[in-house]
A and B are shown apart, each in its own frame.
Chain A
Amino acid sequence: MEERIEVTTPDQRTVSSSPEFNLSATRVADIMTTNLITLSPHHTFGEAVQLMANSPFRHFLVVHADRTLAGVFSDRDVLRALGRTPNWQAKAVSGVMTRYVVTVNPKTPLSLAATEMLKRRINCLPVIGDDQKVCGIITSTDLLKIYQKMQASLEFTQPGTAI
């Protein structure tokens, strides 16, 4: 397989706007992750499972050569496939991934992104720019990070003030 798996180290995959983390971040672009680990549709299921088992991430975007989105490969896809697929190691990522993916735009409000995640029971939304190319990913962890900062600042401020 000539296409290689692009890997960034975990500490590179930080929230894009930190450390000046804006507590009143309201749009996806404010907190999305832009350093991505991506897979190609031709990687095998076995390769993808190994990558996932050895990385802290649960979601990988599957991206075509022109950087448009092919699908999302998540740990849930793995579990579902293992339950029903004999000879799973040899399958291609494209046969297992989620194809019909809900995506957001960098300008999407965070409240809508959170609502979509909860409604669809997913933890990750690919962020697609106006040029239809993948520009980032927003996960439930990104949202928890900013929520934690908000709660922490609440504990240190008086009732009745605005952050």
Chain B
Amino acid sequence: MKEDTRETAPTWSMENQRDSTGKTHCVADVMTREVVSLSPQHNFADAVNLIANRHFRHFVVVDNGRIVGIVSDRDVLRGLARTDNWQKKEVGEFMTVDPITVKPNMSLATAIAKMLAKRINCLPVIADDGTVCGILTSTDLLKSYQQVLESVDLQPR
């Protein structure tokens, strides 16, 4: 890992953290728009396989176009620790019902605060018409933060 020899603490640039109208970033700016969903009738093994073989940890559970729950890798883990015949359980039995959701225009500060306070890593993003338009995960936010940090690193001093 490359050694950083910088002596003075940098100041954050505010300019690239705002859009042309001076507004700070909102959820829609950094969320993931491609969402993988399961139905409540999928079984536990489907969920385990998806999480083990794909690069993400959260699925939304959708019934008739509306979000009814969310399954995270933690839900799967808890299910495994507690349940004997876990393979036969349905997603609807171990999902988190009524998950905490956010609107696309919510500020990043508020969304991150929600995530940290609830110790969750994923917030489904629900449009005004009630449909899922994306999910905001801690990875999306980490990417955004990393871009900020890199812009600071690149600033002339």
Binding site for B on A (CB under 8 A): 22-24, 26-27, 49-50, 52-53, 56, 58, 75-76, 78-80, 82-83, 104-105, 107-112, 114-118, 121, 123, 140-141, 143-148, 150-152, 154-155, 157, 159-163
Cβ–Cβ contact B142 & A114, under 8 A: yes
Cβ–Cβ contact A155 & B145, under 8 A: no
- Judge if B65 is at the interface, Cβ distance under 8 Å: no
Cβ–Cβ contact B11 & A162, under 8 A: yes
Q: How far is the CB of A105 from chain B (nearest CB, A)?
A: 7
Which of A52, A78, A112, A140 has a CB less than 8 Å from the CB of B1? A112
- Judge if B10 is at the interface, Cβ distance under 8 Å: yes
Q: How far is the CB of B86 from chain A (nearest CB, A)?
A: 9
Binding site for A on B (CB under 8 A): 1-4, 6, 9-15, 17-18, 22, 24-25, 48-49, 51-52, 55, 73-74, 76-78, 80-82, 107-109, 112-113, 115-116, 119, 138-139, 141-146, 148-150, 152-153
Which of A24, A75, A76, A145 has a CB less than 8 Å from the CB of B10? A24
Cβ–Cβ contact A114 & B145, under 8 A: yes
Dominant secondary structure of chain A at its interface with chain B: helix
Cβ–Cβ contact B13 & A162, under 8 A: yes
Residue among B6, B52, B107, B145 having the largest count of chain A Cβ atoms under 10 Å: B145
Residue among B18, B51, B81, B107 having the largest count of chain A Cβ atoms under 10 Å: B81
A75 partner residues in chain B, CB cutoff 8 A = 73-74, 77
B55 partner residues in chain A, CB cutoff 8 A = 121
A116 to B143: give the CA distance in the assembly, Å: 11
Cβ–Cβ contact A147 & B3, under 8 A: no
Which of A50, A112, A160 has a CB less than 8 Å from the CB of B14? A160
Cβ–Cβ contact A82 & B3, under 8 A: no
Number of A-B contacts (CB under 8 A): 136
Q: Which 8 A-B pairs have the closest CB atoms?
A: A111-B149, A151-B109, A148-B112, A152-B109, A114-B146, A162-B11, A147-B145, A53-B81
**CB nearest to B5 among chain A residues:** A107
Cβ–Cβ contact B108 & A144, under 8 A: no
A105 to B1: give the CA distance in the assembly, Å: 9
Cβ–Cβ contact A118 & B77, under 8 A: no
Query: Knowing A75-B73, A79-B76, A159-B18 touch, does A145 contact B116 (C-beta < 8 A)?
Result: yes
Q: How far is the CB of A124 from chain B (nearest CB, A)?
A: 12
What are 20 A-B contacts defined by CB distance under 8 Å? A26-B4, A26-B10, A53-B78, A56-B119, A75-B73, A75-B74, A79-B48, A105-B1, A107-B4, A108-B1, A109-B149, A110-B149, A112-B4, A147-B141, A148-B112, A151-B107, A154-B18, A154-B24, A155-B107, A160-B14
Q: How far is the CB of B49 from chain A (nearest CB, A)?
A: 8
Known: A144-B141, A159-B14. 14 other contacts (CB 8 A): A24-B10, A26-B6, A26-B10, A27-B4, A75-B74, A82-B48, A82-B80, A104-B1, A114-B145, A118-B142, A118-B143, A151-B25, A152-B113, A155-B24
